[in-house]
Amino acid sequence: MSRLPRAWLTRNVRLLSAVSFLQDAASELLYPLLPIYLTTVLGAPPAVVGAIEGAAEGAASLTKLASGPLGDRFARRPLIAGGYGMAALGKVMVAAFATWPGVMAGRVTDRLGKGLRGAPRDALLVDGIDAGARGRVFGFHRAMDTLGAVIGPLIGLAGYELLDQQIAPLLWIAVVPALLSVALVFLVSEPRRVQRTQRRPVFARVKDLPRQYWRTAGTLVAFGVINFPDALLLLRLSEIGFSVTGVITAYVGYNLVYAASSYPAGLLADRIGRLAVFAICVVFFAVGYTGLGLTTDPMLASVLIGAYGAFAGCTDGVGKAWISSLVGPDLQASGQGVFQGASGFAILFAGIWAGLAWGAGPGAGTVPLLISGVLGGIFAAVLLVRAYRGKGGVPTPAIE
C-alpha cells in the first residue's frame, strides 16, 4: 500500500507536535489559575494581572519579530531548544518566587521563550513538505498543541480539588511536562542548509518578503485588532455567573473544540483554499463575540465559547499555512516571525482598547464584544466575497 498520503506526517512533525503538547499542557495548567493565585494568594490588585499579561505578550511579540530572520540565517533547532528551555525556566520562576514581581519575571521569561521558538519551529515543521499539504501539517500540530491545553487545565482542576484548593503546589507540577518538552527537542533533526556565499545582515531578509505576503499578512494582522485576549472572554464568563470551576471547565471545552477542529480545517484548506476556509471560520468569531456580548445565560454562553473555539481552531493553523505558502524555503522563519509578532502586537492593542471599554454602557464587556462581533461579521463577508471572486479558493503554491 502506498505511503504517499501520509508523507506529510514526518518524524519532525510528530516530535515537534509532541513537544508542543507537553509545553502547552504545562502552560495551560497555570493559565486559568494564575489570576486567582495573584489576587487571592499573593494579594496583587487586578490591575497587576493585566500588567503582567500585557508585559508577557509584548515581550513575546518583540521576540517573534527577531526570531524569524535569525531562524533563516542560523540553525533552527538551537533556537527552538532555547525557546522551550526559557519557557521551562519561566515556570520554575513562577513556582519559586512567591511575590507578584517574581511571577511577572517568570511570565515574561516564559513568553520570551515562546517568541524565540515559534517562527523557527514553524519553519522546520514544513521543511521538505509540499505546499499543498501544509494545511494538514499545521492543523495536526495545532491539534496536538491544543490537546495539551485540554489536558493541562484538567490536571490543574483535579489538583486544585485534591490539594484542598492549594495553588502553589500545582505551579511545581507544571514544571515537569515543561522540562520533558525541552528534552524531546533534542530528538528533532535539522537538515543542513546550503549557506549563501553573500553574507547579508540578518534582518535584511525581511525586505525580501514578496508583496503578496505583505498584503495577506497585513489583512490578517488587521483582523487581530478586534480579537482581544482570551482572558477577557473568561472574565466575561465570570461576570455572567460562572464559578472558578465553571470557568475552567468552559475553558477546557473551548480547547476541546479548538483541538477537534484544527486538523479538519487544515485538510479542507489544502483542498478548497486557505482564504475560503479562513473566511468561513471568521463567521464563528462573529457569532461567538456577538452572542457573548448579548447573553447572560450560562448554558448559551458555554455554547458560544465553543463557537469561538471553532474559530480559533479553524484559523490558527490555516493562517500559518497560508503565510507559509507565500514565501520560499529561505524565508519561512522570517515570514512566520514577522506575521506572528505583528499579530501579537495587534492582539495586545485589542486587549488594551477592550479593557478600557469593558465598563462602557451596561458594562461587563458588552460594548467591546458587540463592536468586535459586528466588525468580525463585516470582515467575514469581505473575505467570502474575495474568495468567491478569486481563484475558487485554490491554495497558492509556495515560491520554491
**b/e string for 307-340 if b means 16 or more Cβ within 10 A?**
bbbbbbbbbbbbbbbbbbbbbebbbbbbbbbbbb
Describe the crossing of helices 298-324 and 332-356 by its angle, rounded to 10 degrees: 150
Task: Quote the pLDDT of residue 16.
Answer: 93
Q: How far apart are CA 364 and CA 358, in angstroms?
A: 6
Percent of residues, the chain, with pLDDT higher than 70: 92
Q: 300 vs 160, which has greater pLDDT?
A: 300
Task: Quote the pLDDT of residue 394.
Answer: 44
Task: Quote the pLDDT of residue 18.
Answer: 94
**Which structural domains are found in the chain, ordered by start?**
10-187+206-389 (1.20.1250.20)
Q: How far apart are CA 332 and CA 309, in angstroms?
A: 27
Average pLDDT, stretch 326-355? 85
Residue found by looking up cell 470557568 in the block? 247
Task: Quote the pLDDT of residue 47.
Answer: 63
End-to-end CA distance of the chain: 29
Evaluated on CA atoms 269, 270, 274, 276, the torsion sign reads negative
pLDDT in tens, 345-386: 888 888 888 888 888 888 778 999 999 999 999 999 999 998
pLDDT in tens, 228-268: 878 788 888 888 888 878 888 888 899 899 888 988 988 89
Does the structure show a pLDDT above 60 at 142? yes
Residues 127, 10 contacting (CB under 8 angstroms): no
51-65, 125-139, 315-329: which has the highest mean pLDDT? 315-329
pLDDT in tens, 42-95: 887 766 766 777 778 778 888 888 887 787 777 888 999 999 999 999 999 999
Q: 331 vs 397, which has greater pLDDT?
A: 331
Does the structure show a pLDDT above 80 at 395? no
Does the structure show a pLDDT above 70 at 202? no
Task: Quote the pLDDT of residue 84.
Answer: 93
Does the structure show a pLDDT above 80 at 5? no
Task: Quote the pLDDT of residue 52.
Answer: 78
Q: 14 vs 35, which has greater pLDDT?
A: 14
Would you say the pTM of this structure is higher than 0.85?
Answer: no
Q: 288 vs 60, which has greater pLDDT?
A: 288
Residues 115, 64 contacting (CB under 8 angstroms): yes
Task: Quote the pLDDT of residue 1.
Answer: 38
Task: Quote the pLDDT of residue 360.
Answer: 84
Does the structure show a pLDDT above 60 at 216? yes
Pick the closest to residue 146 from 302, 304, 313 (CA basis): 313
Task: Quote the pLDDT of residue 294.
Answer: 93
